[in-house]
Chains A and B, each alone.
Chain A
Amino acid sequence: MIPSLKNPDKRFSLNPKQLTLFKILISIVFLAIVILGGVFLDEGKIVTNLSERNSAPSLDHLFGTDWLGRDMYTRTVMGLSLSIGVGLIGAIGSALIALFLGMVAATMGKMADRIISWIIDLFLSVPHLVTLILIAFTFGGGFKGIVVGLTLTHWPSLARVIRAEVMQVRSAEFVQVSQKMGKSKWWIALHHILPHIAPQLLIGFMLLFPHVILHEAAVTFLGLGLSPHEPAIGIILSESMKYLSSGMWWLAFFPGLCLLIVVRTFDQIGENIRVLMNPTKTHD
């Protein structure tokens, strides 16, 4: 299990599992840096500086400055950190809804199953973004509107996965026995089923995350989300559109690239966890 001890010369050849773990670790460290950076970066850096407007990337300003002389690097990191925060709340909320509905559908009888499946189909029949915009709009936009919108729109596919998983576990023998012994439905749900679907839930949650972040950026890009002075990544990108025609490419390029990297990192973590946890793939 520990090859580095067996072959001391090949210290860096890791087996696939370790490699996966290593990737996950790197990704997490990277994201932690981004989040902590956003929290600890000095707000003073994004103070307007009208004498250093529209400057191209340099050593002083890695990502350049915008039309009010604010440092784009600081704004981008703060924006990413904000986006990750919003994404976290949205993804947790969505995963909880999915867990609850999936469990209920699979354990609480045919009628509940039918109703919940119908709701899932209903939500899946409309593109996410449309429902998200509708909900965010009804809540009057802003932070609350976005978070509620994200939470209420991203659960259906995960709920469906959980429902199927629960049904499988439910038909297992030990659950049948437990039922015969007179345990209540809730007791079975909590003690037998929940532990079995935890991995699926975790993976689902991790894979929801990039989705949620992208949609958050999309909605703020459209101007339905946070106030335009907040350093959210969607806002930064939508502002930059105005200045592209004047050749200020750095306003869109670096924040866009960073968003891409962060989203891909989350995706990587999710995929790698899946590989780790999926018994058929673990020893590939």
Chain B
Amino acid sequence: MKKKLFTVLVLVTFISSFMLVGCNLFKSNTSDEGSKEVNEKKKDELVLAFDSEPEAGFDPTTGWGRYGSPLFQSTLLKRDDKLNIVNDLATKYKVSEDGKVWTVKMLEDVKFSDGEPLTAADIVFTFETAINNGSVVDLNGLGKVEAVDDYTVKFTLKEPQSTFVNALVATGIVPKHAYGKDYAENPIGSGPFQLVQWDKGQQLIIKANPEYYDKKSNFKQITFLFLNEDAAFAAAQAGTVDLAYIPAAFSKQKVKGMRLETVQTVDNRGIVFPFVKSGEVNENGLPIGNDVTADPAIRHAINMGVDRQALVEGVLEGHGTPAYTSVDGLPWWNPETVIKDADMDGAKKLLNEAGWKDTDGDGILENGSLKAEFTLYYLANDAIRQSLAISVVDMLKPLGINIKLEGGSWDMIAKKMYSNPVLMGWGSHDSHEMYNIYSSESAGIEYYNTGYYQNKMVDSYFEKALSSKNEEEAIEFWKKAQWDGTTGLSAKGDAPWAWLVNINHLYLVKDGLDIGDQRIHVHGHGWPATDNIVDWKWTK
């Protein structure tokens, strides 16, 4: 009896596993006819499959629209596809000689989707609300904002800050008259779209805003489905979506009627090292610093030893680029920061010269009483971070650097990140992010500069960049902060990070759907694609 039961169980396992494999073959064959019908019916509609649902809702004063288009709201300035800053609501803006007062003139006949006019009072209200909300929108430098007349706003900064322009790019304007507690769920704005319906955890439906003042969308209605990676891919195979985000693991499989678009990004991943020696604690009692990673030889050796191209090929299936800084490819990136990697011999020599030798023959280097080992933390539920972490550990083992891995939630990592290396990712169109990650001012503030990195020269470049009058002037100093020939924050200089890869964002796009020229995407897979959503169109 027992034996029979066992045989049956084995058989069932066999059969069901083959059926699971079979399923997806069948699906891709049968899906075609259905999708054709859907296509013909809905030429002016779009269905997109994304994962990252904005759970906090659509309130720009608490962070909505930081990545990707705010859809419902419009901003004072925006970036074009080449990442240049151009006017949106603003018609022109002026910065005073001392860099502290920004005066913005704006369009006069703009209306919110409910028909009310948009005036300077709404802008003042938006920025004041954002400051009070203490949101992720970085407005620390903003002192006060006031309306000069109905269509002119004056921003007064505490310190000159050239990156303040990004606050004007990222903050969608909310209506003073229609802003309340439930605004995040019922957004009203002056953007290209209006909310139709938001089923939390399932979908978001939007339609074109008839009052929109600029180029109107080619679609009457757009539906965003919030699906996980598998479901998004399955939906693409079934032909029910026009665009689906997919992870690199699925990129090898062809889906009939869809093409793969791979978009270059600054969605980067790297390892941030504690820069100082251990011993101190911060104000919350969390330990700071790590004796092993405080040694520049270790940090440089890791930067030299890691084979970034192999990570791109192996972990990202080739859909990525090697990363050398947090701003690769952006206008303020300094290309001199590119170093030679996969250089095991160079790394070994460097470690040897710094006094790291394997004295007890266990394959791990020692320097005096210090062993070349540490724990690397990573976000456990992120498969790419996990794969990167595992691969890096194995790549560095031959160097004699022993890395233990520990996966955890952000809550758990937050307790360890000041004293242990962490695999993190950043990536933004806001050059202020570099200041946040590397300046000594932001050391130990949340996830910024967790390594307590400090370099006086870099700090002084930051100061000059921030006090520049505009972005073009500042760019020179941003570049020098990375590497000025003698020092800098990149791997050539102090190497407080070992940047690994920039992850290309992959989308399956239905044939005939033109998603325009995608600019270099920022952190986050999905929403950044919507930056130019008004340019999307069907070509056939």
Contacts and interface: CB of A to CB of B under 8 A. Distances in A.
Interface stretch (B10-18, B38-46, B429-437): B10-18
User: Does more than half of chain B's interface fall in helix, strand or loop, or is it mixed?
Assistant: helix
Interface stretch (B121-129, B131-139, B256-264, B309-317): B309-317
A68 B314 contact: yes
A249 B387 contact: no
Contacts of A252: 17, 20
A256 B387 CA distance: 22
Interface of A: 47-48, 50, 53, 67-69, 140-141, 223, 227-229, 239, 241-247, 249, 252-253, 256-257, 260, 264, 268, 271
Interface of B: 2, 6, 9-10, 13-14, 17-18, 20-21, 24, 229-230, 233-234, 249-250, 252-253, 310, 313-315, 380-381, 383, 386-387, 389-391, 394, 397, 405-408, 412
A256 B314 contact: no
Contacts of A242: 229-230, 249, 383
Nearest to A272: B2
B390 A67 contact: no
Nearest to B25: A247
A249 B380 contact: no
B391 A245 contact: no
A243 B315 contact: no
Contacts of A241: 230
A241 B383 CA distance: 12
Contact of B387 (A47, A67, A264, A268): A67
Contacts of B233: 245
A245 B230 contact: yes
A69 to B, nearest CB: 7
A139 to B, nearest CB: 12
User: Does more than half of chain A's interface fall in helix, strand or loop, or is it mixed?
Assistant: loop
Contacts of A268: 2
Contacts, number: 78
B346 to A, nearest CB: 21
A53 to B, nearest CB: 7
Given A53-B314, A256-B13, A257-B10, A227 B391 contact: no
A260 B9 contact: yes
Which one of B313, B315, B406, B407 has the greatest number of beta carbons of chain A within 10 Å? B407
Top 9 closest pairs, chain A to chain B, by CB: A50-B314, A227-B407, A48-B394, A253-B17, A249-B21, A47-B394, A48-B391, A229-B405, A228-B407
Which one of A53, A228, A249 has the greatest number of beta carbons of chain B within 10 Å? A228
A245 B24 contact: yes
Nearest to B251: A246
Contacts of A243: 249
A47 B403 CA distance: 13
Contacts of A223: 380-381
Contacts of A228: 380-381, 386, 407
Given A242-B229, A246-B250, A252-B17, A227 B405 contact: yes
B18 A249 contact: yes
B184 to A, nearest CB: 28
Contacts of B6: 264
A104 B164 CA distance: 70
A246 B249 contact: yes
Given A48-B391, A229-B389, A260 B10 contact: yes
